[in-house]
Amino acid sequence: MNSRRDFLQKITGSAFGLSLLSTSSNGNILFEEGYQEPVLRVAIMGLGSYGTRVAEAMKDCKRAKLVGVISGTPSKVKDWQTKYSIPAKNCYNYENFDTIKNNPDIDAVYIITPNGLHREQCIRVAKAGKHVICEKPMAINAAEGQEMVDACKKANVKLLVGYRMHLEPKTLEIIQMRNEGAFGKILFFQGLCGFRIGDPNQWRLNKQLAGGGAMMDIGIYAVNGARYMVGEEPSYVTAQETKTDFAKFKEGVDETIQFQFGFPGGAVASCLSTYSMNNLDRFFLNGEKGFAEMQPSTGYGPIQGRTNKGELNHPHVTHQTVQMDEMAGMILNNKNPLVPMDGEEGLKDLKIIDAIYLAIKTGKKVDLKM
């Protein structure tokens, strides 16, 4: 138990304390004062609500600094310049951001735009020689995801995906307990993810921009969670779709999907993704010797968790602060997280989501080759 807690304290330690950064006017890597740790200089692409959440969280980062913005809305760029002290030379729009290749003061671009735009934007950032951080889902299907992975490899830049839960302390403790055999043979996982969506005109209900519906937005948490909670890749999937509001959820935009996985070790999973029900943010893992339950399991926090051995009591730290500090280590120091956060990880989720949609279309079990 002590080794596990030491591990968790180490992996989340970079989230505490305010960042004291040295300045750079000549394009050199910034360093944190006192520690001489290199600082990742990030431009955020997409200045919506989640982009704002990330920017606010980065105020407390020690190893990542917001230095640039990319947006199609001039008024937002102006507001962010003032609020976050961003120089004009680090501000771009969607037409000219390829010229970021000539800006030595930016190391990475965090893409926080609608899913259907990720592929093109990622490839352009990679060609500009900058590391890519992309929100999940990484793309709208596995074919596009593979193009992104290939483009980043060709450009010799890193591709990371915003899997913030891979760094959440209570989640990591459960994974460590499972790895240590505390739950015995894993038998079952349940992942419930959903909420009642509002504005029918938002991009999340536009198939071209979102790539689907609830599955591409909230369902990916259950897909990814099943994999890291069970600790195996699923070998097959079955799925069923339910739609009650055909006006809001048009062709190709899913409202509710139930899906099931089978795993090589014998475990099974039952999951739900929906845009029509609230109070659904729960993970449950069951093994021969014990269980783990999280509710809420993937929200912005605080996460609540317990196992058959008792409550999990890690202090809450803003997920995006931890994520950006840890991603700085992954990019600048080749640090490897306990649960991968790279493009290959994102690609696996896309392959599974493709298979879920195929299972719905055919009504048959779909075998997975990961």
Structure tokens, 175:
């994974």
Phi, psi for residue 71 in degrees, rounded to 5: -155, 155
Give residue 295's pLDDT: 98
The answer to whether 241 and 257 are in contact (CB under 8 A) is yes
Phi, psi for residue 54 in degrees, rounded to 5: -65, -45
Burial (CB < 10 A; 0-12, 13-18, 19+), residue 78, is middle
- Using the structure block, give the residue that is written with the tokens 């105020």: 59
Structure tokens, 65:
């600094």
**Which segment of 8-12, 110-114, 176-180, 226-230 scores lowest on mean pLDDT?**
8-12
**pLDDT above 70 for 6:** no
| Dist. CA 224–CA 209, nearest whole Å | 21
Strand-strand pairing, 291-294 and 280-287: antiparallel
**Which alpha helices (DSSP H) does the chain contain, by range?**
2-12, 49-57, 74-84, 118-127, 142-155, 169-179, 207-210, 214, 220-230, 319-333, 343-362
The answer to whether 191 and 283 are in contact (CB under 8 A) is yes
The answer to whether 75 and 104 are in contact (CB under 8 A) is no
**pLDDT tier for residue 350 given thresholds of 50, 70 and 90:** very high
Domain chopping of the chain, boundaries: 12-164, 169-314+341-367
Q: What is the pLDDT of residues 280-314, one digit of tens each?
A: 999 999 999 999 999 999 999 999 999 999 999 99
CATH numeric code, 169-314+341-367: 3.30.360.10
Nearest to 326 by CA among 339, 315, 314, 316: 339
Q: What is the pLDDT of residues 230-286, one digit of tens each?
A: 999 999 999 999 999 999 999 999 999 999 999 999 999 999 999 999 999 999 999
Q: How far separated are the first and last CA of the chain, in Å rounded?
A: 33
Residues belonging to the active site: 136, 221
Report the CATH architecture of 12-164: 3-Layer(aba) Sandwich (3.40)
**Which segment of 17-31, 264-278, 339-353 scores lowest on mean pLDDT?**
17-31
**pLDDT tier for residue 37 given thresholds of 50, 70 and 90:** confident
Q: What is the pLDDT of residues 125-184, one digit of tens each?
A: 999 999 999 999 999 999 999 999 999 999 999 999 999 999 999 999 999 999 999 999
Nearest to 307 by CA among 318, 295, 316, 298: 295
**pLDDT tier for residue 9 given thresholds of 50, 70 and 90:** low
Question: In CATH terms, are 12-164 and 169-314+341-367 the same topology?
Answer: no
| Dist. CA 293–CA 174, nearest whole Å | 9
Burial (CB < 10 A; 0-12, 13-18, 19+), residue 230, is buried
Q: Is the dihedral of CA 120, 123, 125, 131 positive or negative?
A: positive
Structure tokens, 329:
């280590």
Instruction: Please give the model's pTM, rounded to 2 decimal places.
Output: 0.92
| Dist. CA 167–CA 56, nearest whole Å | 18
What value does the mean pLDDT take over residues 42-66? 98
